[in-house]
Structure 1
Amino acid sequence: GLESISTAGSISFIGIFGLVNVVAYRRHRETGARRGIALAGAVACFVALGVLVRQQLLGGPTGVYLSAGIIA
């Protein structure tokens, strides 16, 4: 239901935001990004993503499966 859609949206958002931070880290010369902040942001996003996925897999994996289906 609604919780699965919310979980899928959260997983997608956190994953994309983590990737944006990885790109900022890699292209810091072009973008003027501070590498330490971009790296910290990427690590924080991927840790949060791991925690969210684990929590959802233990409680109700439908949102995780829905998110995986959207990404695939």
Structure 2
Amino acid sequence: MADFKYDIVQHLGVISENTKGWTKELNLISWNGAKPKYDLRDWAPNHEKMGKGITLNNEEFEALKDLINKL
């Protein structure tokens, strides 16, 4: 697997926490120095490990917000 870098530019919030202390978080993350994107995934305590997640650009995030607001 190729090396990658990430920088949590802004922690937006925790959605849930499991019994092992992992949290599902929404953050703005810069992947490999690129423009930050919205990122939703599970994180181990202290962000030393991450689970699979989804990354959305601004337009995708706005579309998701609109969908959720229509529910």
TM-score over 0.5 for the pair: no
Higher strand share: 2
Which of the pair has the greater relative contact order for Cα pairs under 8 Å at 6+ separation? 1
Higher helix share: 1
Normalising by structure 2, we get a TM-score of 0.29
